[in-house]
Amino acid sequence: MRASCRLAADTLDYIEPFVQPGVNTLKLNDLCHKFILEHGAIPSPLNYHGFPKSICISPNQVICHGIPKRKVVLKSGDIVNLDVTVFLNGFHGDTNRTFFVGEVASHAKKLVDVTYQCMWRGIEQVRPSGRIGDIGAAITLLAHSHNYSVVEDYCGHGIGREFHEDPQVVHFGQAGTGHEMKAGMTFTIEPMINVGKKECKVLKDKWTVETYDNSLSAQFEHTILVTDVGYEVLTLGTRERELNVNPTTSSHLS
């Protein structure tokens, strides 16, 4: 799990310089596909239940599961989420980040920053004997304090030898409820936060999910290991490792 998760994080580090105005999302997909193969792994999403590409790319109002396409060209001012999962030596590693494209408006930067904080606020709830509801309650409290909504139709998930396993990790809910966390569990925390309402719609391609009101949406994701005393984040990127945010407090993120 550590090896597969590190490669997923390394893939996002690798692709970041290419996320520029004028690039089409298929090009980003192809670069990630090549990088993953060159490191002895395969992209988990490719052909998963029919998904046609190697990563998900979701700009602006797209919440998740965006299909990379040549005709989708990024422009300055966009925000875009890249979601990478790799399968290496029998295990999956899953992570995503929302990137700025060129010069981004302050309201979009705030959404992305708060979404990142929401992910970490959820991560901080992970501990043996804790409940999955603790994660969602913490995320919702922070998001709502900024008048943002939390997507409820999609959630995090257990991960390991299978891409998606139990438990489901919802990003809303009540503290003290839900599945009990136990040492050795691995799952993702990946809140999707909207400027507008929480409702969403699936496009005709049967994959791409957008905000129903076409408002901006952002997302971040890490794969988490429950340890005997708390948690370990398995998908830290280079900057997070340099900041020593594992474990973390929220002070440097606010």
Cα 94 to Cα 7: distance, rounded to the nearest angstrom? 9
The whole-number pLDDT of residue 212 equals: 98
User: What is each CA distance from 70 to 45, 100, 198, in whole angstroms?
Assistant: 18, 19, 29
Q: What does the alpha-carbon distance between residue 218 and residue 84 come to, in Å, rounded to a whole number? A: 15
What CATH number is given for 2-253 in this structure?
A: 3.90.230.10
Query: What's the predicted TM-score (pTM) here?
Result: 0.95
pLDDT at 248 (0 to 100): 40
Domain boundaries, the chain: 2-253
What b/e readout covers 205-230, taking b as 16+ CB neighbours within 10 angstroms?
A: eebbbbbeeebbbbbbbbbbbbeeeb
Give the pLDDT mean for 15-40. Answer: 98
What digits encode the pLDDT tens for the residues 30-88?
A: 999 999 999 999 999 999 999 999 999 999 999 999 999 999 999 999 999 999 999 99
Among residues 35, 190, 16, the alpha carbon closest in space to that of 100 is found at 16
User: Residue range 149-169: average pLDDT?
Assistant: 98
**What is the pLDDT of the chain when averaged over all its residues?**
95
The number of beta carbons lying within 10 Å of the beta carbon of residue 133 is 18
Indicate the pLDDT class of residue 246, thresholds 50, 70 and 90.
Answer: low
Quick one: what percent of the chain has pLDDT higher than 90? 94
Is residue 251 pLDDT above 70, yes or no?
Answer: no
> For residue 252, is pLDDT > 90?
no
CB 80 within 8 A of CB 18: no
Q: For residue 101, which of 75, 131, 73 has the smallest C-alpha distance? A: 75
CB 189 within 8 A of CB 220: no
pLDDT tens string 140-157: 999 999 999 999 999 999
CA distance 101 to 6: 24
For tokens 């999910």, the residue is 209
pLDDT-derived band of residue 195, with 50, 70 and 90 as boundaries? very high
pLDDT tens profile 78-122: 999 999 999 999 999 999 999 999 999 999 999 999 999 999 999
User: What is the per-residue pLDDT for 62?
Assistant: 98
